[in-house]
Amino acid sequence: MKVIMYHYVRSSSKDFPFFRYLSVENFCKQLDYFEKEFGFVKFEDFLKLKEDLSCFIKVKDKILLTFDDGLIDHFNFVLPELVKRGLFALFFVPTAIYEREKALDVHRIHYLLGRNGGGGLMSFVKNILDDDMLEQDKIELFKQKTYTKQDNDSLTTEFKKLFNYYIKYEYKEAILDKIVNEFSNDKEIFSSLYMSIDNLKSMHKQGMIIGSHSCNHLVFSKLKEKEQEKEIEDSFDFLESILKKLYIKTFCYPYGGFHTFTKFTEQTLQKQGVSFSFNVESRDVSLDDVKNRAQALPRYDCNEFCFGKANLG
């Protein structure tokens, strides 16, 4: 089974000349390609898979679509195309955004870069950064591991790495707040990026699987065990409060990669009754994965397949 990961799927906008996204046109072409070459996992087979491993033969070479971050793109552009084709997908939502009504830092970064590019933002942030705000010991590690599959200009890459990994946690949001106030505002960013709760309810009613992307989209391996438990429990409590009953409990690790979660994370998800959790790893899901490591199933990025390359602007 090939699990495919998507984020932004949208049309071009003159207001976001530096935004990177998969165009709706190429998304549709990629779906055509997947249908021709592999076919798609059926809803009923996916729901049965955890309890009935004999179903694996039905999904073995098929495509399973997943979409991260609760983006409005998924309601406006992805959902209509899936419904038209009779397909389902998994949509992973970071639930705390609805309580805070403030975009996650990672998405504020995407928005700011998409609107302004990396040059002006880096010039501004370098004037407000002190060396003691940075995690010096992690720079080399994340140079090797971060954004290796993305085609970004050097300043955009530098800005992303700076905020996603190098700046100490206690400084990150405050620094971003200053940049947002200089270049935009939080209300505008939030309303333009995310699905509403009514959108989520509508997707659920139309047979889409809504899963957890945690509450706050943090790197789990950096959290204490109690914090990990709370992120998982609270996110599912929120989803169940608005959707009443989930078709199946699924989870997707923020950022992904084995360095972003621990064995304890997997054990906690298992205890919470989560059927499947998704990592980022470029290979097919095997029967052994489903049997023995269902809380760390591999996913491909959509850009690893035909028509999956990101557009700019």
Q: Are residues 283 and 157 in the same domain?
A: no
Q: In this structure, are 198 and 94 located in the same domain?
A: yes
List pLDDT tens digits, range 238-269.
999 999 999 999 999 999 999 999 999 999 99
CATH number at residue 19: 3.20.20.370
Find out whether 301 and 17 touch, Cβ atoms under 8 Å.
Answer: no
Shared domain for 210 and 94, answered yes or no, is yes
Model pTM score: 0.90
Indicate the number of domains in the chain: 2
pLDDT of 308: 96
Whether 97 and 242 map to the same domain: the answer is yes
Residue 109 lies in a domain: no
Residue 62, pLDDT > 90, answer yes
Domain of residue 125: give its range.
114-189
| ∠ CA 96-276-203, rounded to 5° | 55
Does one domain contain both 97 and 11?
yes
Could you tell me the pLDDT band of residue 120, with boundaries at 50, 70 and 90? Answer: confident
> Of 199, 193, 200, which Cα lies nearest the Cα of 71?
193
Q: Per-residue pLDDT for 147 more than 60?
A: no
Answer yes or no: do 93 and 211 share one domain: yes
Residue 146: band (very low, low, confident or very high) from pLDDT cuts 50, 70, 90: very low
Claim to verify: residue 123 and residue 95 sit in the same structural domain: no
pLDDT in tens, 35-57: 999 999 999 999 999 999 999 99
Same domain (yes/no): 84, 206 = yes
For strands 20-23 and 311-312, give the pairing: antiparallel
For residues 201 and 76, membership in a common domain is answered with yes
Judge whether 135 lies within some domain: yes
Do residues 155 and 117 make contact, with C-beta atoms less than 8 angstroms apart?
A: yes
